[in-house]
Amino acid sequence: MIESARPGSEELVLGFLAEAGDEFVSGEAISDKLGLSRAAVWKHVDALRAQGYRIDAVPARGYRLMEIPDRLGELELRPLLNTHDLGQVLHWFEEVGSTNDIAKRLADDGAAHGEVVVAEAQTAGRGRRGRVWASPTGRNLTFSIILRPDLPPSRASELTLVASVALCQAVRQAGVPAGIKWPNDLLVHGRKLAGILTELAADPDRVQWVVLGIGVNVNVRAEEFPAELRDIATSLAMERGEPVPRALFAAAVLSSLEEWLDRHAEDGFPPVREAWRAMSITLGREVRVRASDRDLEGVAEDVDEAGALLVRTPAGLERVLAGDVELLRPR
């Protein structure tokens, strides 16, 4: 496991090279900018190469970053972040059972708002109602964000819709026309692209912490899905027809999430509810809802001020707080 709260010299050198894009940067310029000796700059460049970064060096021209490894560690993510809290402390793992389980332990031990647990592979990732979330190594985005919102427990469910709006926004900005299936699944052309698992600890009058677990199929290929998922799942790469830089996408998700969390903290749930409605593929559809205590069918009419789904059935308007929704008929 690698954890980081402050950028080190290697990271600063990488960030300087990344900012230059396709241009060469002289060792002297890096040395002056970062207060390092020329020898130290060379050692950091060599260390970055050893970690999979391809950096060209040309006499009298300097260094140029040509390729970065497809990882989600601090060196890859930090130069891309423009957040004030989310991801500023990053806990990176090659493989874990569940990022949510680790994040919950960290939260119980006092981890700060915005700390992120990210893994290249999950072996026991969970979706809603205990389902397994399949995630092959180095293909997807699987991470958990620790939040410490100033909310009573009665409003904690709003954060699930905040996260689904933020994630849908990031996916659409990546060029994939996803929509939200209540409450927190992202679908593209009827196939599941992403999901969110929200877990929390609360006192009677306030939320102690919330862990948002986010899983997105990024670069997984159709043949890499388990056989039972191949007809019902998709990925960003499958929809776009080309691989997606995972670190760039992860940074975009964190930026979008922080934007919507800040807006929710300032303006409350109404703007989130409005955005969720606009992104929904549930409202106006005939649905079947399987809740823990009942099943019902009807037309999904709206989400209320607490994020509950309002379903018009032959018996009247039903309010659904939790359950699995199946979309029965296309619009």
Query: What confidence tens digit (pLDDT) does each residue in 128-158 have?
Result: 555 555 567 889 999 999 999 999 999 999 9
For residue 204, the number of C-alpha atoms closer than 13 Å in the C-beta half-sphere is: 0
User: Per-residue DSSP letters for 138-159?
Assistant: TTSEEEEEEE--S--GGGTTHH
Residues of the chain with pLDDT below 70 are: 1-7, 125-135, 329-331
Q: Where in the chain is the domain with CATH 3.30.930.10?
A: 74-279
**pLDDT at residue 131, as a whole number:** 55
Q: What is the CATH T-level fold of the domain 2-67, as seen in this structure?
A: Arc Repressor Mutant, subunit A (1.10.10)
Evaluate whether 87 touches 112 at the Cβ level (below 8 Å): no
Q: Where in the chain is the domain with CATH 2.30.30.100?
A: 286-327
**What span, in angstroms and rounded, lies between the C-alpha atoms of 193 and 20?**
34
User: Per-residue DSSP letters for 149-203?
Assistant: -S--GGGTTHHHHHHHHHHHHHHHHTT---EEETTTEEEETTEEEEEEEEEEEE-
- Max intra-chain CA distance, the chain: 79
**What span, in angstroms and rounded, lies between the C-alpha atoms of 131 and 220?**
19
The helix or strand, by DSSP H or E, that contains position 275, with its residue range, turns out to be helix 270-279
Return the closest-CA partner of residue 85 out of 115, 41, 122.
Answer: 115
**pLDDT at residue 125, as a whole number:** 61
Q: Which residues pair with 132 in a beta bridge?
A: 126
> Amino acid letter at 15?
G
- Angle of helix 9-20 relative to helix 38-50, nearest 10 degrees? 80
Is domain 286-327 annotated with CATH 2.60.40.2250?
no
Q: What is the CATH T-level fold of the domain 74-279, as seen in this structure?
A: BirA Bifunctional Protein; domain 2 (3.30.930)
**What span, in angstroms and rounded, lies between the C-alpha atoms of 39 and 236?**
42
Q: Where in the chain is the domain with CATH 1.10.10.10?
A: 2-67
